[in-house]
Chains A and B, each alone.
Chain A
Amino acid sequence: MQGLALVDYDNLCPRNRSELEAEIRTSALLDSLARASQAAFPGLRHRAAGPVGRTSATIWRVSDTLTRADVDRIARLAHLELTEAEAEQFTRQLGDILAYFDRLNRIDTTGVAATTHPVTSAPVMRDDEPRPSMRPDDTFANAPDRGAERLFRVPKVIG
């Protein structure tokens, strides 16, 4: 059980918002989600299927456990090809780990600032002066496919 994840729509970055919107448009859970969240929080507005306008909204997601579909989705995001056995194993293991993380919800963090970094220091500036950088031969020395030239060669990108 992942519990309920509260999504503060207005604080999502645009990319995450559009992903979220796309996900909600296609979610089979949408109707039951909408009913459940409105029953629990009568004042709550929720996103509906269809194009999403620029309104403030708070969305509750309900999910029983980490599903195989979740694992497949994450693997795509992470550019990992998984074997069938790995996908099954990760569904189970990551589900256990995420369930263990739920204990963080015992802590009230209302109003607590987020620590992104252990030291807070002023931006480090230096003069913008030309200086030598890595030699091209060194730069390409570890490339798995550098062709005959000094370049990084990759499979065809555009059809």
Chain B
Amino acid sequence: MELSSLGTIADVRAALRNGAGAVDVCAEFLDRIAARDGAIRAFTHLAADRALERAAALDGRGPDAPALPLLGVPVAIKDNICTRGLPTTASSRILAGYVPPYDATVIERLTAAGAVVIGKTNCDEFAMGSTTEHSVRGPSRNPWNPACVPGGSSGGSAAAVAARLAPAALGSDTGGSIRQPAAFCGIVGMKPTYGRVSRYGLLAFASSLDQIGPFGLTVADAAALLQAIAGPDPRDATSAGAAVPAFEEAAAEPARNPTIGVPWSILENGVDAGVGAVFTAAVETLRGLGATIVDVPLPHAEYAVPTYYIVAPAEASSNLARYDGVRYAYRAPLDERDATLDRMYDRTRRHGFGDEVKRRIMLGTYALSAGYYDAYYLKAQQVRTLIRDDYDAAFRRVDAVAMPTTPTTAFRIGERSDDPLQLYMGDVFTAGANLTGLPAISLPCGRDGAGLPVGLQLIGPAFGEETLIRVGAAYEEQAPWWREAPPAAGARGPE
């Protein structure tokens, strides 16, 4: 295999089997980044020298060294996941120059599996947003159309994989931040069950919703990455003790006759015609594979957005209180004569945080403030219970629930930046999985009239990632949309 045609983790493995070194693979992807990331802007920090050193060390292992599942696989890391010795800024000014003294658990695990961290990727500031426009580094571009957003908040990671600048990447998903950019960029992205993957070393946004997860071109690649990072961690008390299934093997055993629920009633309004048509065709593809399709009511699903935008900002307002100009990175300059502690806090946060982060801190502070707690926060937590009850009822009848990942395809940069509420509405199909803690995957399932990718979302029961992987693999086998590379991946012929 020519290195220039490397795409998937499977390709990297094949290249290494056929004599290429991890250094060759790493250099190939670094060359692509150097040549093409200027137009995509997926990366905020490259770890080129370190990655090549690491790859050389992997190549230098003796013949008796143990087999590593991700040997020599370059992985791009969202910039809100701590990497020891590499800047980690969450695309925020307030963390400009922050270099963590420790690795997140997922980084330790990827490293132990043989992966090579090649760089950090752009995101919306503190993962708050769905476009990457709320990044102090400016927006990343959608590889299918550079005038469009790649989605977010993990937009850099999704764009990097879609543009074949990295075979795999990690993101984080609090309300859709892995699945939505995966959908917009035409790749696979998965939010595991809450607790499946340790959050240790993930800069906290909303601690009851955050979860780290994989991006890949294929379901099998996402499964391989999940395999490496999943499992309990003593450093995250919310990580689950549940046994970790053989996800990669599940990807090799596509589901044959699953029962899939579709909440048709919530798709009647607010879904773009192009997305609706592609989704309906994807459901027919699933039916053609032997799936039984049933209608499932999710009567409270339409309340996912208001519920989410109370719970998440409330948690964020507390989590982001730590950025006070004392311990990490940025402090606003103050005139010595009127420097007080309070003024230092207030001014550091004024200059350190961007608009969207401020908006959410304000919203969360309001929802938790005296006199409003019950009306907003408690109410939202109660509705959260009802949303979960809907899914519990559905999973008594079906193996997975299918819906579009997003109501629209990627939109143009700047088009929605003045209308936060409209952006929030775009999370209507993704936020539910975070509120309920359920696992969900987004797969490419076609393109709309403008040629932009559409995502098929599958939501599973708690700790049911294996089912999502098997159903996803079945769909992908029949409809391998991932083989179509976007223009920004370069004219390299068919994969």
A interface, CB within 8 angstroms of B: 2-3, 5-8, 11-12, 15-17, 19-20, 23, 59, 61, 66, 70-71, 73-75, 77-83, 86, 90, 93-94, 96-98, 100-101, 103-105, 107, 109, 112-119, 121, 124, 126, 134-135, 138-139, 141-145, 152, 154-157
What 0/1 pattern do residues 95 to 131 of B give for CB contact below 8 A with A? 0011101100000000000000000000000000000
B411 within 8 A of A: no
Q: Which residue of B lies closest to A101 (CB)?
A: B306
Give min CB distance, B367 to chain A, whole Å: 9
A126 to B326, alpha carbons, bound, how many Å?
31
| Interface of B, helix, strand, loop or mixed by DSSP | helix
Residues of chain B contacted by A97 (CB below 8 angstroms): 309, 363, 420-421, 424
Q: Is the CB of A155 within 8 A of B385?
A: no
Whether the pair A114, B340 counts as a contact (CB closer than 8 A) is no
Q: How far is the CA of A12 from the CA of B372 in the complex (A)?
A: 11
In the complex, what distance in Å separates the CA atom of A148 from the CA atom of B324? 21
Binds A, one of B21-29, B216-224, B256-264, B374-382: B374-382
> How far, in angstroms, from A121 to B382 measured CA to CA in the complex?
19
A93-B102 in contact (CB<8A): no
Question: Is B371 in the interface zone, CB < 8 Å from A?
Answer: yes
Given known contacts A90-B358, A114-B381, A139-B101, what 7 new A-B pairs fall within 8 Å (CB)? Answer: A74-B369, A79-B321, A79-B345, A118-B195, A121-B195, A141-B101, A142-B101
Q: How many A-B pairs with Cβ below 8 Å? A: 191
Give A20's nearest chain B residue, CB to CB. Answer: B370
Judge whether A154 and B344 touch: CB under 8 Å: yes
Asked whether, in the complex, the Cβ of B366 is within 8 Å of the Cβ of A70, the reply is yes
- In the assembled complex, the CB of A153 is this many whole angstroms from the nearest CB of chain B, namely 9
- List of A residues within 8 angstroms of B330 by Cβ: 144
Q: Whose C-beta in chain B lies nearest to the C-beta of A24?
A: B371
Whether B325 pairs with A80 at a CB distance below 8 angstroms is: no
Q: Which of A94, A96, A103, A119 has the most CB of B within 10 A?
A: A119
Interface size on B, as a range, is: 35 or more
**B359: Cβ under 8 A from any A Cβ:** yes
User: How far, in angstroms, from A106 to B421 measured CA to CA in the complex?
Assistant: 19
| Cross-chain contact A74 with B385 (CB below 8 angstroms) | no
* Minimal beta-carbon separation of B104 from chain A (angstroms): 15
Shortest C-beta distance, A25 to chain B (Å), equals 13
Q: How far is the CB of B325 from chain A (nearest CB, A)?
A: 6
Q: Is B8 an interface residue (CB 8 A)?
A: no
Taking a contact as CB atoms under 8 Å apart, the answer to whether A78 and B317 are in contact is yes
Residue B72 lies at the interface, judged by CB distance under 8 Å to chain A: no
Contact at B238–A157, with CB atoms within 8 Å?
Answer: no
Q: Is the CB of A145 within 8 A of B378?
A: no
Instruction: Provide 22 A-B residue pairs closer than 8 Å at the C-beta atoms, listed in order of the A residue.
Output: A71-B362, A74-B362, A74-B369, A75-B362, A78-B349, A78-B361, A78-B365, A80-B349, A93-B359, A97-B309, A107-B383, A109-B386, A112-B383, A114-B382, A115-B435, A121-B240, A139-B101, A142-B97, A143-B327, A144-B329, A144-B330, A154-B341
